[in-house]
Amino acid sequence: MPLLVMKFGGTSVGDIARIENAAKKVQAEVARGYDVIVIVSAMSGKTNELVGWVEGTSKLYDAREYDAVVSSGENVTAGLMALRLQEMGIPARSWQGWQVPINTTSAHGSARFISIPRENLDAKFAEGFKVAVVAGFQGISAEGRITTLGRGGSDTTAVAFAAAFGAERCDIYTDVDGVYTTDPRISPKARKLDRIAFEEMLELASLGAKVLQTRSVELAMRYKVKLRVLSSFEDTDETSGTLVCDEEDIVESKVVSGVAYSRDEAKMTLIAVADRPGVASAIFGPLAEAGVNVDMIVQNISEQAAGHSGNTTDMTFSVPINQVERARKAMEAARAAGIVSYSDLVEDTEVAKVSVVGIGMRSQVGVAAKTFAALAAENVNIKVIATSEIKISVLIDRKYLELAVQALHDAFELDKA
C-alpha cells in the first residue's frame, strides 16, 4: 500500500468537532487506498497552558519534568483522533513517542531526531490497521526519558516520519490554504503559490514566514520529502494547497517568489572596536556562547577613527528583540574580561527585517537595484543590508514595515502568476 503522512496543527484539532473534521480528511485518504500516519499537535492553546502550569509550580524547573508535562497535550489529541477514526469504522491506533519509538538526543526542550525504527508501525499495518496516529513534538532519549523537540516540533515529526517510511508525500494541514507571496493581512494582493522550491521555503521560514517550521523544511530538503501545505477547514483535493518540492519540479519560477518579514528585530552597534585580527571572533564567540542568534552583520570604519589612524571600527549586528539583554550582558562581560574593547554599545529596538526571496535571483541581474529603488520611492531608509544567493534582506524602521512589504510586493508584481 502507498503511504501518506498527514499532520494536523493545534488549530486543526482545537476541539472535538475539529478533530472529527480532521478525521474525515484522513478517512478520504484511506478511501483512496493509502495507509496513513497521522501526526497531531496538542489542541490549540493547550501547550501554553501546560507551560504555564510548569512555570507556576517551579520557576527553576527540571527540564525532564517540563518535557513530561508539556508533551502530554499531544498524547490526548492522538488518543481522541484514534477513537474518532475507530468510530468511523477505520482500524486506527494511537502511538506516543516512546512507543514507536522516536529516538532523540537528550537535549530536553530542543531534542533532535536520532532514528525512527519502522518495525512496530509496520507490524500494525501488516495486521490490517490503516492509520497510526502519532503524538508529535516528542520522543524518547537513550536514558528512557520523554523529550520534546521545541515549538513547531510536530511539523518536524511529520517530515521525519515521511522520510523514515518513504511516504509518497507529507501533507501539513493548518489554518491557511497554502504558502502566499506575502502575508495577506498586510498585502491584499498576496497570491497563493501552487509550488515553491525547498530553498525558497527554507529562506521564507527562517525570515519570519510562520507557515512551516524551519527545521521541518531543512529535513524535507535533505531527504527530498514532498511537502504540501493546505487548509484543514476547506474541501481539498490532490491539487489543493502549495507543494514544497525540488527546484527541478518547478517548470519556471519568477525571479522573486515572496516577501517575508520579521517585526521583532533589534539592531546593536559596538562603537570604536579595536580593529585587529580576530576581533569578529572576540565579539561573536561570546554571543554564541550566550545563545544569542545573530543575523545581519555590518562592519564600518568608526567615526571616531575618521581622519585619524583608522585603528577602530564599528560593528553592527541584528538580534531578536527578546535577546537584546542577553547580548548586552555577553558584550559587557567580554569587555570586562578584556576579550573585546569598545567605547559604547548602541541599541535600536524599533527596527524590522524585510526580505525578498527567489531562486530566480541566481540568474537575474538587477534584483537588488529594484529592491532598493522600490524602498527609496516610499522614502524608506535602509539601515542594514544582507544578501545570499536567493535573498536580499534589509533592516528598516519598524513603523515602515507594512509600507515596505507592499512596495516590494508591487515592484516584483507578485500578485501576477
Q: Domains in the chain and their CATH numbers?
A: 3-175 (3.40.1160.10), 260-411 (3.30.2130.10)
Q: What is the pLDDT of residues 277-297, one digit of tens each?
A: 899 999 999 999 999 999 999
Q: What is the pLDDT of residues 9-66, one digit of tens each?
A: 999 999 999 999 999 999 999 999 999 999 999 999 999 999 999 999 988 899 999 9
Rounded mean pLDDT of the chain? Answer: 92
Residue identified by cell 535533505 is 222
How much is the pLDDT for 305?
47
How many other β-carbons are positioned within 10 Å of the β-carbon of residue 267?
A: 22
How much is the pLDDT for 204?
85
Q: What is the pLDDT of residues 188-224, one digit of tens each?
A: 999 999 999 999 998 888 776 677 888 899 999 999 9
Q: What is the pLDDT of residues 119-143, one digit of tens each?
A: 999 999 999 999 999 999 999 999 9
Distance CA 114, CA 81 (A): 27
> Model-level pTM?
0.83
Distance CA 276, CA 92 (A): 64
Closest-CA residue to 172 (of 208, 140, 203, 196): 196
How much is the pLDDT for 341?
92
Q: Span 143-163, mean pLDDT?
A: 93
For 232, the 3-state DSSP assignment is coil
Does 160 have pLDDT greater than 80?
yes
* 100-to-132, 161, 241 alpha-carbon distances in Å: 10, 11, 30
242: its cell numbers: 502549495
Beta-strand pair 103-104/344-357? unpaired
* 160-to-41, 72, 219, 353 alpha-carbon distances in Å: 15, 20, 7, 30
How many residues would you count in the chain?
A: 417
Q: Percentage of residues in the chain with pLDDT exceeding 70?
A: 96
How much is the pLDDT for 60?
86
Per the CB < 8 A criterion, the answer to whether 167 and 225 are in contact is yes
Does 303 have pLDDT greater than 90?
no
> Highest mean pLDDT: which of 46-50, 182-186, 303-307?
46-50
The DSSP element (H or E) to which 40 belongs, if any, is strand 35-40
How many other β-carbons are positioned within 10 Å of the β-carbon of residue 48?
A: 13
More confident residue, 408 or 236: 408
Distance CA 19, CA 53 (A): 25
Q: Percentage of residues in the chain with pLDDT exceeding 90?
A: 76
Distance CA 366, CA 356 (A): 13
Per the CB < 8 A criterion, the answer to whether 243 and 201 are in contact is no
Q: Span 330-358, mean pLDDT?
A: 94
Per the CB < 8 A criterion, the answer to whether 233 and 393 are in contact is no
- pLDDT band, very low/low/confident/very high, at 2 (cuts 50, 70, 90): very high
Residue identified by cell 514544497 is 244
- pLDDT band, very low/low/confident/very high, at 308 (cuts 50, 70, 90): very low
